[in-house]
Amino acid sequence: MPELSDLDRRIVAALQLDGRSSWADVAKLAGTTESTASRRGGRLLDDGTVHVVGVADPLVCGLGQPVLVQLACAPDSVRHVVDTLAERTDTRFLTITTGDWDVVTELIVPSQHQLVTTLIDELGALPGVHRSSSALITKNFTMRHDWSRDLLGDVDHSPEPGTTDAPNGVELDDVDRRLLAVLAEDGRRPYRDIAKTLTLGETGVRRRVERLVAERALVFSTLVSPTTLGFRTELLLWLRVAADRLDEVAQLVAARPEVRYVSATAGSADLVCEVILPQPSEIYTFTTRVLGALPGIRSIDVALELENHKRAYRPFTLE
């Protein structure tokens, strides 16, 4: 996929700050006119280069627990395994990687019983899978949607805060579920159009969206391949950390601008991180000078994300 122009990159970066921003606000951040932002941004949305989606938080919405699963596969089976996982509605993240594992995925599992079924009866039965590992996500420290904000320079916009405390659960009604289904397809769909689909007033739709966002049940994510913005390297890192330093290290890593995701796990690693870098040559610097300078890290395993196949969770449908 070709890289975008500098202006298009800034437009996308502005959308990553807030996927439902008006074109006037996007233009102000990107340093262009509203008509230019609307024309160029609209083109990127229409051709699928950029996709804004509303993402339901599974923990807040009471849908299940995130579980990170790693699979080692026969080389000729990797594509089939990925295609099968991509079709699952409980798959939130899916990538092909280098290193010890060929496929890494995050699933949302509603119960321990279902976890057994998923790992043994379903994933374990996939042809070509000969080894697996799983880890329960016990705490998320950050899942950043504004990782390209540095492209905007010194903008007057607060960065997304890291996740420190577990959010309270919310009770969703049928209208909430239908609303989340609509926004999962198009996070920028106008409220007046959504209102027609839900047979609800435009003001009622707006209030529900604002409530779900305030309760952290809903977040808007602007999906785009990092390569198109000039970031050519996506990494997954597994860190082993001294228990008395775990929270400190997690907070420090989560505060880094190049870090998109940090979670603690109950598995072979204490922390799992996702990092976006401009060039592969920066991997060494990040692991030695950034992570190597942090207290308590005992080991680091690094995998390059080769192909990302899913990065959104869509548990609800209008059917």
C-alpha angle 241-141-223 in degrees, rounded to nearest 5: 120
Q: How many CB atoms lie within 10 A of CB 47?
A: 8
Sign of CA dihedral 155, 157, 162, 164: positive
Q: Name the residue with tokens 């999906």.
A: 223
140 pLDDT above the threshold of 80: yes
Per-residue pLDDT band for 313 (boundaries 50, 70, 90) equals: confident
List domains and CATH numbers for the chain.
1-54+143-319 (3.30.70.920)
Per-residue pLDDT band for 169 (boundaries 50, 70, 90) equals: confident
| pLDDT 10s digits, 82-91 | 999 999 999 9
**From CA 90, how far away is CA 81, in angstroms rounded?**
15
**From CA 68, how far away is CA 62, in angstroms rounded?**
18
Per-residue pLDDT band for 154 (boundaries 50, 70, 90) equals: confident
| pLDDT 10s digits, 14-54 | 999 999 999 999 999 999 999 999 999 999 999 999 999 99
Write the DSSP assignment of 243-281 as a string of letters. Answer: GGGHHHHHHHHHTSTTEEEEEEEESS-SEEEEEEES-TT
| pLDDT 10s digits, 76-127 | 999 999 999 999 999 999 999 999 999 999 999 999 999 999 999 999 999 9
Q: Which of 87-96, 135-144, 157-166, 169-178 has the lowest mean pLDDT?
A: 157-166
The reported pLDDT for the residue numbered 199 is: 83
Kind and range of the H or E element at 86? helix 78-86
